[in-house]
């Protein structure tokens, strides 16, 4: 088992290395050169000269690459053009918000999606089945920011039940030891702050989580159907095993593999969807920060943010891979 | 979606449900809007006011800023020697009770208010005043860059040791604290606008102790990308104003609490929070849902709805101008007939009535009517498509092509929606026979940089006045040659220099009127609108006095 | 995408059918019976027809403005002359929507073509040569897939500058590794198949096997993926437009852009957000349903 994990982790290295090389080459291959990438087409000659000096763009390529790698390994992604602080600082400050949002969205997707898919499969052809199909189709086809707008309009504007933006009410004052607002409220003995943070989380998490929800529903349903039709399940049922035991021991266990796959994949969608959702809800995480960077052509932030999120994505999928080892003994021996 | 596993999956009726669901969704959210929540509730207890701003302050050190949000925050916590009267532009006492200049007009004696303290407990006195002025005068390196100390450069021009050889001589010479409460500021030459310049928030008096202790002068980087390394201006800001800095959490809120030892009337509300909400519609939402009790830069599209829902819309008197700038160095804009053709081709009335709120005026010149020096006799250019086409034909320019540059990611009172303005004008130009090349860039810094260095053809821009002097409008634009406009008629530069130095008020007025006539004759650009921006408040909030130069104090605001 | 997942994709692809005619006929039969396939096909056909015949269908020009009827926040709603009302600059919304189909179609087709053609080329090379070539190409696709799709598109489009071309290139690049893996997996599976081994034993040249037999049999999943990719392309293009990437000329009636513009007056005229939103949802749904239906129809394993 350990060997399996180690092998998988080692495979990460060439990927991350390759990613950094690709980014490096891409930026330098752009028409107009990396200065254009960093500053945009309309930069003044003074700014261009400054950037050339600051980034050492007049030195030979190998030197540039080494200093780039040096900086990347030390997690130095440069300075944001907009806020004038280190990109790493900005990412560190905003990351917890996005994590909180993504985790809540995924939890929402899992707790609603998997049971829904399961029930839909078990009651194949019923109205629940059709409803879940319709719902998941909508979830896939509706762009996440459209959904975000819709939710905001209905629940925050028209009905006023939930706040329309931000992570907390501006009049709430609490310490934030961890940066995860719901947790912080509990840690500092201020449960109303936690509740306030949770209220701010609901709409964006639902908007963001709808796509994974849709996929999870479909894949759970499909997996359960497929497994349910397998011979060994029918044998078990014929033998007289109770439904519950059959479900637990055979169906769910075997269906988990494709479900885990989808969860890993969906993290990618969550991370990119976060960019749009956080913007609509002004949520203050990395997503809205990246969107702002796109609006203001803050290239160091765009680059650094994408690299960072890619690493997160790869790590999550690594975890999924490792979980395969747990779920499916066959994989470990490969 | 890319690597979906295959699955078996009948869809009886599923799709019909989808479409049904869509229809239901359409019916539910379509239809008219009723303006959202009720007329807003004041915050419980009446001791906290949350105000929606458009961005975080860049710094809380007045010397380093020129953006509206920084100035708004600084205004609450700091004071200047003199200020403008509430809601107007006349100079009235603030930290200085009286002032007079000597005969030569170069030595100004200020009698300072007594019994004033800074938020950190230290005394406000003449020494503190001179400390501040000398600090600015002695700026070095990056601090001297006009993009850092913008207003100092505008009013005083130069420093003790100019690092840029092009920089002019400093207007400021020295400051003496002749006694505890008297400060004398010596200038190198007489100036008429120096005093009104002192009302700018950038000349706020800060606590010398705080400035030193918290590294206010630790600035590195470059003029384009300065890095403020000290704590001062970020987590520390110590002035004499009715509010003091409680906390500044970037991207979240700026919290100010009442300073109980304030020399004047104590602030009515205990805590004022500025909450940055970049998205305009989001600010409106926040107001309607009660998360904030007021916000600035209300979009014209929201006026009616907000009023109908019971919110207050306070009007800031029109003191701005929106214009299309021409880079006369770039052909075909160097041809005066082309410029006139553009002026006749653009239907300003239609654009203003469609895109700007009630009460906005079509502009005829580059400064608002309220300002002295406004000329009633400027050449005007009626909307006349035929005339425009004729002028193009006469100009000799075949297939006139114009590079039209517009900004993104910005909303200004004179330009609430630049993209909409762009599209309206583009259509007009195309109707007259121009070919339009659209380019856009984010407002800050790309767009502004590009415009200022002559990278644009025609471009959308505007200006909100800082103080009540025509020099702040047409002087800023046209008194010195700038790449944004290209080369102008030299007489314009001369006239504006003369007007600025003129001390007799009536003569000045006449000179500025004449200048405006000349400017509109030459047509370095096309001004098109003056607007009065609105600030929205929830019901029950009173005491806020809008000012044309945005000197607005929350200390006077109360919640019923 | 995790590495194991890619292996799963490869093993999930089935062996080819000897009689391709049989598969196609079977597929068509199944498609005709499936209601979602029909709905999908109808939506897609509608979308394509509207895009192609836009000038004939649109009652007005999409860029002609009529400012006289506009006040800030007040835009005339649906009426007899303008079925969907006017937008914020007095342009006919219906005409803009119709012409917008063109942009979405073009963006979709061009980007998917870019992604598919380059991807297929790489996949072909990897599948045909095997060995270190295959390994190298797989590592490359791994790297590209390490960045979530929309983020990669954002990064590329942002760096390339504001234009429709950047958007098309960006979305195209995102599709490259997907098609590469697909084709390579398909080909690998078939190389081991009986007929391929038999042909090799018979002495048929390698390139003939690859080009004339293996490759054509790998096309089925590519067609499916292309259809699904079109759906994703439309969504991603809308997302990119929302972030301000796309043509610098804001008068172009691109759906994603139209949707993004309505943010400023959502509370005043929500209908103006509804139309482009609905258009996007319907066209995405159409391609998705069609793609999923094709996948089932072309999957020989389901022939029961």
Sole residue written with tokens 């090799």? C200
Report the gap between the CA of B11 and the closest CA in chain C (Å).
6
**What pLDDT sits at residue B436?**
92
What are the backbone angles phi and psi of residue B294, rounded to the nearest 5°? -175, 160
What are the backbone angles phi and psi of residue C130, rounded to the nearest 5°? 65, -160
A100 compared with B103, residue with greater pLDDT: A100
Interatomic CA distance for residues B219 and C109, integer angstroms: 52
**What pLDDT sits at residue B288?**
84
Does B21 score more than 80 pLDDT? no
Partners of residue A31 on adjacent β-strands: none
Residues 6 or more apart whose CB falls under 8 angstroms from that of B206 comprise B61, B62, B78, B118, B132, B216, B237, B238, B239
Tokens of B273: 């929070």
What are the backbone angles phi and psi of residue B236, rounded to the nearest 5°? -130, 140
B247 compared with A223, residue with greater pLDDT: B247
Lowest mean pLDDT among A22-31, B498-507, C40-49, C164-173: A22-31
Sole residue written with tokens 């490096």? A24
Q: Which residue of A has its CA nearest to B50?
A: A170
Interatomic CA distance for residues A191 and B440, integer angstroms: 47
Calculate mean pLDDT across residues C98-127.
91
What are the backbone angles phi and psi of residue B254, rounded to the nearest 5°? -120, 120
Residues 6 or more apart whose CB falls under 8 angstroms from that of B36 comprise A157, A158, A160, B285, B288, B289, B305, B309, C267
**What pLDDT sits at residue A43?**
59
Interatomic CA distance for residues C149 and A276, integer angstroms: 13
Does B422 score more than 90 pLDDT? yes
Residues of chain A with confidence (pLDDT) below 50: none
**What pLDDT sits at residue A50?**
63
Report the gap between the CA of A185 and the closest CA in chain C (Å).
32
Contact between chains at B28 and A154 (C-beta distance less than 8 A): yes
B523, B339 contact by CB (below 8 A): yes
Interface test with B, best of C3, C89, C239 (most B CBs within 10 A): C89
Interatomic CA distance for residues B98 and B112, integer angstroms: 7
Does B25 score more than 60 pLDDT? no
Residues 6 or more apart whose CB falls under 8 angstroms from that of C207 comprise C128
Does B42 score more than 50 pLDDT? no
Q: Which of C4, C242, C244 sits opposite A145 (nearest CB)?
A: C242
What are the backbone angles phi and psi of residue B99, rounded to the nearest 5°? -155, 150
C294 compared with A173, residue with greater pLDDT: C294
Does B456 score more than 70 pLDDT? yes
Interatomic CA distance for residues C230 and C108, integer angstroms: 5
Interatomic CA distance for residues B249 and A210, integer angstroms: 32
Chain C positions touching A26 (Cβ under 8 A) are 156, 159
Which tens digits make up the pLDDT trace of C137-172?
888 888 888 888 888 898 888 878 778 888 999 999
Does C27 score more than 90 pLDDT? no
- Cα angle: C205, vertex C207, C210; to 5 degrees: 115
**What pLDDT sits at residue A114?**
86
**What pLDDT sits at residue A329?**
66
Report the gap between the CA of B286 and the closest CA in chain C (Å).
13
Chain C positions touching B536 (Cβ under 8 A) are none
Interatomic CA distance for residues A73 and A55, integer angstroms: 16
Q: Where does the pLDDT of residue B29 fall: very low under 50, low under 70, confident under 90, or very high at 90 and above? A: very low
Sole residue written with tokens 């800095």? B245
Q: Which residue of A has its CA nearest to C302?
A: A226
Does B517 score more than 90 pLDDT? yes
Instruction: Look up the pTM and report it.
Output: 0.80
What number of helices (H) and strands (E) belong to chain A?
Answer: 15, 0
Burial of C206 (0-12, 13-18, 19+ CB in 10 A): middle
**What pLDDT sits at residue B27?**
38
Does B182 score more than 90 pLDDT? yes
**What pLDDT sits at residue B224?**
66
Residues 6 or more apart whose CB falls under 8 angstroms from that of C162 comprise B440, C244, C245, C246, C247, C248
Does B40 score more than 80 pLDDT? no
Interatomic CA distance for residues B195 and B216, integer angstroms: 25
C150, C233 contact by CB (below 8 A): no
Residues 6 or more apart whose CB falls under 8 angstroms from that of B204 comprise B62, B74, B78, B79, B80, B239
Calculate mean pLDDT across residues B63-87.
88
What are the backbone angles phi and psi of residue A82, rounded to the nearest 5°? -75, -55
Sign of the Cα pseudo-torsion (C227, C115, C109, C170, in order)? positive
**What pLDDT sits at residue B38?**
34
Tokens of B12: 């009886």
Q: How many CA atoms lie within 13 A of B483 on its CB side?
A: 10
Helix, strand or coil for residue B45? helix
Interatomic CA distance for residues A318 and A311, integer angstroms: 10
A77 compared with C173, residue with greater pLDDT: C173
Partners of residue B182 on adjacent β-strands: B111, B179
- Share of chain A residues as helix, strand and coil, in percent rounded to the nearest 5: 80, 0, 20
Report the gap between the CA of B443 and the closest CA in chain C (Å).
13
The closest alpha carbon to C84, from C279, C292, C244, C227, belongs to C279
Q: Which of B4, B22, B301 sits opposite C264 (nearest CB)?
A: B301
**What pLDDT sits at residue A40?**
55
Helix, strand or coil for residue B273? strand
Tokens of A324: 């395969």
**What pLDDT sits at residue A39?**
58
Highest mean pLDDT among B74-83, B222-231, C192-201: B74-83
DSSP string, B449-501: HHHHTT--SEEEEEEE-SSS-HIIIIIHHHSS--TTT----HHHHHHHHHHHH
HEC profile of B327-391: CCCCCCCCCHHHHHHHHHHCCHHHHHHHHCCCCCEECCCCCCCCCCCCCCCCCCCCCCHHHHHHH
Query: Over chain B, what is the mean pLDDT?
Result: 84
Tell me, yes or no, if A157 comes closer than 8 A to chain C by beta carbon. yes
Report the gap between the CA of B538 and the closest CA in chain A (Å).
16
A324, A331 contact by CB (below 8 A): yes
Does B138 score more than 70 pLDDT? yes
Sole residue written with tokens 């400017």? B519
DSSP E strand stretches across B219-316 = 219-221, 226-228, 243-249, 253-258, 271-276, 294-295, 312-315
Tokens of B295: 């916000």
Tell me, yes or no, if C135 comes closer than 8 A to chain A by beta carbon. no
Q: Is the ipTM of this complex over 0.85?
A: no
Chain C positions touching B353 (Cβ under 8 A) are 67, 71
Lowest mean pLDDT among A293-297, A304-308, C46-50, C76-80: A293-297
Task: Order the strands of the B401-408 sheet from edge to edge.
Answer: B361-362, B525-530, B320-326, B458-464, B401-408, B435-442
Contact between chains at C151 and A41 (C-beta distance less than 8 A): no
Contact between chains at A138 and B441 (C-beta distance less than 8 A): no
């Amino acid at each position: 088992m350990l060997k399996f994990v180690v092998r998988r982790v080692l495979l990460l290295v060439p990927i991350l290395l390759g990613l950094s090389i690709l980014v490096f080459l891409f930026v330098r291959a752009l028409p107009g050169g990396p200065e254009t990438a960093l500053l945009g087409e309309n930069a003044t000659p003074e700014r261009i000269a400054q950037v050339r000096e600051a980034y050492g763009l007049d030195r030979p390529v190998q030197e540039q690459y080494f200093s780039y790698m040096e900086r990347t390994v030390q997690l130095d992604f440069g300075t944001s053009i907009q806020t004038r602080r280190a990109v790493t600082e900005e990412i560190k400050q905003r990351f917890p918000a996005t994590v909180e949002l993504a985790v809540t969205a995924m939890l929402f997707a899992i707790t609603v999606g998997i049971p829904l898919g399961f029930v839909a499969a078990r009651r194949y052809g019923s109205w629940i089945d059709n409803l879940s199909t319709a719902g998941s189709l909508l979830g896939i086809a509706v762009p996440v920011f459209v959904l975000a707008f819709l939710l905001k309009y209905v629940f925050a504007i028209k009905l006023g039940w939930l706040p329309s933006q931000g992570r907390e009410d501006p009049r709430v004052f609490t310490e934030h030891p961890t940066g995860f607002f719901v947790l912080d409220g509990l840690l500092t003995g201020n449960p109303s702050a936690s509740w306030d943070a949770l209220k701010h989380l609901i709409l964006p998490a639902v908007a963001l989580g709808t796509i994974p929800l849709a996929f999870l529903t479909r894949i759970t349903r499909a997996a359960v159907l497929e497994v349910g039709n397998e011979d060994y399940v029918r044998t078990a049922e014929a033998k007289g095993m109770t439904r519950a035991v059959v479900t637990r021991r055979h169906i769910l266990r075997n269906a988990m593999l494709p479900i885990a796959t989808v969860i890993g994949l969906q993290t990618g969608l969550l991370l990119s969807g976060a960019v749009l959702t956080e913007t609509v809800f002004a949520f203050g995480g990395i997503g809205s920060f990246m969107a702002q960077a796109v609006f203001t052509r803050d290239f160091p932030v765009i680059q650094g943010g994408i690299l960072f999120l890619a690493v997160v994505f790869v790590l999550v999928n690594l975890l999924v891979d490792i979980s395969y080892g747990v779920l499916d003994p066959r994989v470990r021996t490969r | 979606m890319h690597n979906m596993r295959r699955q078996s999956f009948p869809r009886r009726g599923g799709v019909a449900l989808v479409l049904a669901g869509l229809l239901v969704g359409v019916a539910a959210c379509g239809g008219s809007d009723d303006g959202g929540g009720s007329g807003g509730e004041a915050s419980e207890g009446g001791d906290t006011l949350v105000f929606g701003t458009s961005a975080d302050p860049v710094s809380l050190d007045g010397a380093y800023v020129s953006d509206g949000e920084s100035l708004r925050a600084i205004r609450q916590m700091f004071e200047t020697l003199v200020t403008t009267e509430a809601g107007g532009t006349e100079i009235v006492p603030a930290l200085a009770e009286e002032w007079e200049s000597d005969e030569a007009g170069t030595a100004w004696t200020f009698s300072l208010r007594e019994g004033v303290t800074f938020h950190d407990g230290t005394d406000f006195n003449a020494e503190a005043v001179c400390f501040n002025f000398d600090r600015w005068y002695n700026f070095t390196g990056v601090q001297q860059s006009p993009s850092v100390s913008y207003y100092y450069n505008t009013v005083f021009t130069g420093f003790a040791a100019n690092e840029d050889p092009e920089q002019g001589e400093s207007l400021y010479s020295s400051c003496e604290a002749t006694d505890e409460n008297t400060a004398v500021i010596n200038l190198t030459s007489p100036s008429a606008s120096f005093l009104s310049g002192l009302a700018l928030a950038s000349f706020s008096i800060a606590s010398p102790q705080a400035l030193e202790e918290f590294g206010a002068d630790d600035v590195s980087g470059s003029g384009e990308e300065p890095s403020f390394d000290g704590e001062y201006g970020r987590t520390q800001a110590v002035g004499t104003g009715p509010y003091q800095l409680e906390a500044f959490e970037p991207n979240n809120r700026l919290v100010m609490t009442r300073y109980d030892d304030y020399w004047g009337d104590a602030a009515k509300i205990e805590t004022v929070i500025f909450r940055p909400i970049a998205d305009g519609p989001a600010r409106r939402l926040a107001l309607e849902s009660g998360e904030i009790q007021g916000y600035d830069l209300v979009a014209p599209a929201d006026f009616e709805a907000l009023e109908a829902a019971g919110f207050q819309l306070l009007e800031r008197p029109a003191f701005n101008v929106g214009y299309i700038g021409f880079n006369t160095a770039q052909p075909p804009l160097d041809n005066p007939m082309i410029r006139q053709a553009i002026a006749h081709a653009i239907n300003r009335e239609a654009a203003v009535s469609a895109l700007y709120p009630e009460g906005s005026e079509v502009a005829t010149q580059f400064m608002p009517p309220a300002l002295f020096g406004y000329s009633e006799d400027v050449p005007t250019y009626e909307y006349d498509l035929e005339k425009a086409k004729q002028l193009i034909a006469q100009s000799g320019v075949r297939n006139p092509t114009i590079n039209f540059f517009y900004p993104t990611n910005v909303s200004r009172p004179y330009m609430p929606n630049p993209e909409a303005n762009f599209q309206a004008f583009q259509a007009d130009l195309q109707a007259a026979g121009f070919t339009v090349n659209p380019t856009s860039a984010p407002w800050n810094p790309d767009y502004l940089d590009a415009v200022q260095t002559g990278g644009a053809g025609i471009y959308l821009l505007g200006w909100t006045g800082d103080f009540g002097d025509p020099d702040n409008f047409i002087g800023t634009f046209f008194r010195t040659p700038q790449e944004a406009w290209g080369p102008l008629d030299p007489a314009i530069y001369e006239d504006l220099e003369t007007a600025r130095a003129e001390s007799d008020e009536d003569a000045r007025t006449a000179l500025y009127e004449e200048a405006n006539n000349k400017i509109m004759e030459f047509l370095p650009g096309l001004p098109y609108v003056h607007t009065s921006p609105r600030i929205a408040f929830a019901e029950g909030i009173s005491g806020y006095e809008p000012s044309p130069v945005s000197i607005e104090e929350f200390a006077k605001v109360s919640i019923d | 995408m995790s590495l194991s997942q890619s292996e799963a994709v490869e093993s999930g692809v089935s062996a080819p059918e000897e009689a391709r005619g049989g598969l196609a006929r079977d597929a068509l039969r199944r498609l005709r019976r499936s209601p979602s396939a029909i709905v999908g096909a109808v939506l897609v056909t509608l979308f394509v027809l509207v895009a192609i015949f836009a000038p004939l269908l649109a009652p007005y020009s999409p860029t002609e403005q009529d400012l006289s009827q506009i006040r800030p926040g007040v835009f005339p709603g649906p009426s007899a002359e303008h079925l969907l009302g006017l937008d914020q600059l007095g342009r006919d919304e219906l005409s803009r929507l119709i012409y917008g189909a063109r942009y979405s179609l073009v963006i979709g087709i061009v980007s998917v073509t870019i992604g598919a053609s380059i991807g297929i080329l790489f996949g072909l090379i990897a599948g045909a040569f095997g060995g270190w070539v295959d390994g190298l190409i797989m590592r490359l696709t791994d790297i590209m897939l390490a960045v979530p799709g929309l983020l990669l598109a954002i990064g590329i489009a942002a760096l390339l500058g504001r234009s429709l071309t950047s958007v098309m290139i960006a979305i195209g690049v995102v599709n490259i590794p997907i098609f590469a893996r697909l084709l390579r997996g398909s080909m690998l599976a078939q190389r081991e198949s009986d007929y391929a081994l038999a042909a090799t034993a018979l002495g048929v040249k390698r390139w003939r096997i690859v080009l004339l037999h293996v490759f054509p049999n790998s096309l089925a999943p590519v067609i499916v993926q292309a259809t699904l990719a079109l759906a994703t392309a439309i969504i991603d293009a809308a997302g990119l437009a929302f972030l301000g990437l796309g043509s610098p000329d804001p008068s172009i009636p691109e759906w994603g852009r139209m949707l993004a513009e309505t943010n400023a007056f959502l509370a005043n005229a929500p209908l103006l957000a509804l139309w482009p939103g609905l258009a996007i949802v319907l066209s995405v749904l159409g391609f998705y349903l069609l793609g999923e239906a094709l996948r089932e129809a072309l999957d020989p394993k389901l022939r029961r």
